[in-house]
């Protein structure tokens, strides 16, 4: 996975990606937080693929998706005879990820007893499969993630403090999509391109009305929700341009009025953004030509593009 697959220009988001690229090489544990759908697994993969472990497996296990009584087996494996029906050794995910990276998603849902076992693994690289009294060793980088508030997890005793300190060597927090709204058009554009190709449809863009609603919406399910909404819209679209109606009820209940009364500065910025975007489009996104057409300095245009978060879509 390269920088190009990860979409987003928001400075706070870019900083997370740049930090990830730096820590990728360091082989330390990583702790990723961020609401559901903000890209935690994508970031974990990015770290893996930019590390020296990239040729080895990347495995993600969701602690909340596996019943507590099966999780130990799933992670640490068992030896033959550990249970009545354990007729063979089972390696578990740690062994399967040998040399690579294991992402432990929803770490706060891991039973405390297993958190102790995980801590030991982080400290000594050793663990005991169920029913075994022999230590096994594995060389696996752990990336833990949660969509919960870490402070609450610690406060509620769902995450052991000693494990937290061990995992917290590098902590990365992915911003919610509503806190990086300027990335909505560029994400939408990329998803449209991908979905249109997949469904073999000709889609040229999104109507202005629909785009405005998309940018004003809070997206509680973040990028995943946006991705799904675009996919449905592409499937439903009957015209080359996606219409507000193609989004069905997604924006119902969310106020469409939010944009009507706003500080004058925001209204002016909104106009500038729209006008400059049109000028850029008309000039094939060539900044030199666009600056000339607008009769402004190229450096000033560049600054406006940045401050107004103008993105090509
Ligand atoms: N910046 C981005 N650029 C491109 N695609 C993205 C980006 N962020 C997220 N996605 C896509 O959004 C979807 C959700 O991302 P991901 O599964 O990584 O989120 P998550 O934080 O792990 O979600 P959850 O908490 O629900 O497990 C994926 O299909 C992913 O490819
Ligand atoms: Mg995930």
pLDDT in tens, 210-224: 999 999 999 999 999
Q: Residue 3: its pLDDT value, please?
A: 58
Give the number of whichever ligand sits closest to the CA of residue 33.
Answer: 1
3-175 shares its CATH topology with 178-247: no
Q: What is the 3-state secondary structure (H, E, C) of 157-223?
A: CCCCHHHHHHHCCEEEECCCHHHCHHHHHHHHHHHHHHHHHHHCCCCCEECHHHHHHHHHCCCCCHH
**Spatial separation of the C-alpha atoms in residues 125 and 136, rounded to whole Å:** 8
The answer to whether the CB of 39 is under 6 A from ligand 1 is yes
Question: What residue ranges do the domains of the chain occupy?
Answer: 3-175, 178-247, 264-307
Which pTM does this prediction carry?
A: 0.80
Instruction: Report residue 58: phi and psi, to 5°.
Output: -115, 120
Burial (CB count <10 Å: 0-12, 13-18, 19+), residue 82: middle
For ligand 2, a single-atom ion, the residues with CB < 5 A are 40-41
- Mean pLDDT to the nearest integer, 153-172: 93
The answer to whether the CB of 175 is under 6 A from ligand 1 is no
The answer to whether the CB of 9 is under 6 A from ligand 1 is no
Q: Name which residue sits closest to atom 13 of ligand 1, judged by CA.
A: 224
Question: Structurally, what CATH architecture does the domain formed by 178-247 represent?
Answer: Orthogonal Bundle (1.10)
pLDDT in tens, 83-103: 777 778 889 999 999 999 999
Q: Are 210 and 247 in contact (CB under 8 A)?
A: yes
For residue 172, the cross-strand partners are 32
pLDDT at 78 over 80: yes
Q: Residue 254: its pLDDT value, please?
A: 56
Question: Structurally, what CATH architecture does the domain formed by 3-175 represent?
Answer: 3-Layer(aba) Sandwich (3.40)
For residue 170, the cross-strand partners are 30
How much distance in Å is there from the Cα of 19 to the middle of ligand 2? 19
Share of the chain above pLDDT 70, in %: 95
Share of the chain above pLDDT 90, in %: 75
pLDDT in tens, 219-270: 999 999 999 999 999 999 999 999 999 987 788 755 544 445 667 877 788 8
The answer to whether the CB of 6 is under 6 A from ligand 1 is yes
């Amino acid at each position: 996975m390269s920088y190009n697959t990860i979409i987003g220009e928001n400075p706070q988001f870019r900083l997370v990606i740049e930090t990830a690229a730096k820590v990728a090489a360091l082989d330390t544990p990583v702790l990723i937080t961020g609401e559901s759908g903000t890209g935690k697994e994508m970031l974990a993969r990015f770290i893996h693929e930019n590390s020296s472990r990239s040729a080895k497996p990347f495995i993600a296990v969701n602690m909340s998706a596996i019943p507590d009584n099966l999780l130990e087996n799933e992670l640490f494996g068992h030896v033959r005879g550990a249970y009545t029906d354990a007729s063979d050794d089972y390696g578990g995910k740690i062994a399967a990820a040998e040399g690579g990276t294991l992402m432990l998603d929803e770490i706060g849902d891991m039973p405390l007893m297993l958190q102790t076992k995980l801590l030991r693994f982080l400290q000594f690289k050793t663990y005991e499969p169920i029913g075994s009294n022999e230590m096994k060793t594995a060389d696996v980088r752990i990336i833990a993630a949660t969509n919960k508030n870490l402070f609450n997890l610690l406060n509620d005793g769902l995450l052991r403090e000693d494990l937290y300190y061990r995992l917290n060597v590098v902590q990365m927090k992915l911003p919610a999509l509503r806190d990086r709204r300027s990335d909505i058009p560029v994400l939408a554009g990329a998803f449209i391109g991908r979905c249109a190709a997949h469904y073999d449809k000709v889609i040229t863009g999104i109507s202005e009305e629909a785009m405005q609603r998309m940018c004003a919406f809070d997206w509680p399910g973040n990028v995943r929700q946006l991705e799904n909404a675009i996919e449905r819209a592409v499937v439903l679209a009957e015209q080359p341009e996606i219409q507000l109606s193609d989004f069905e009820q997604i924006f119902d209940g969310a106020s469409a009025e939010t944009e009507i009364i706003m500080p004058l500065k925001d209204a002016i910025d909104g106009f500038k953004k729209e006008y400059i975007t049109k000028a850029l489009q008309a000039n094939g996104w060539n900044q030199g030509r666009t600056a000339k057409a607008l009769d402004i300095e190229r450096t000033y245009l560049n600054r406006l593009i940045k401050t107004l978060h103008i993105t090509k879509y």
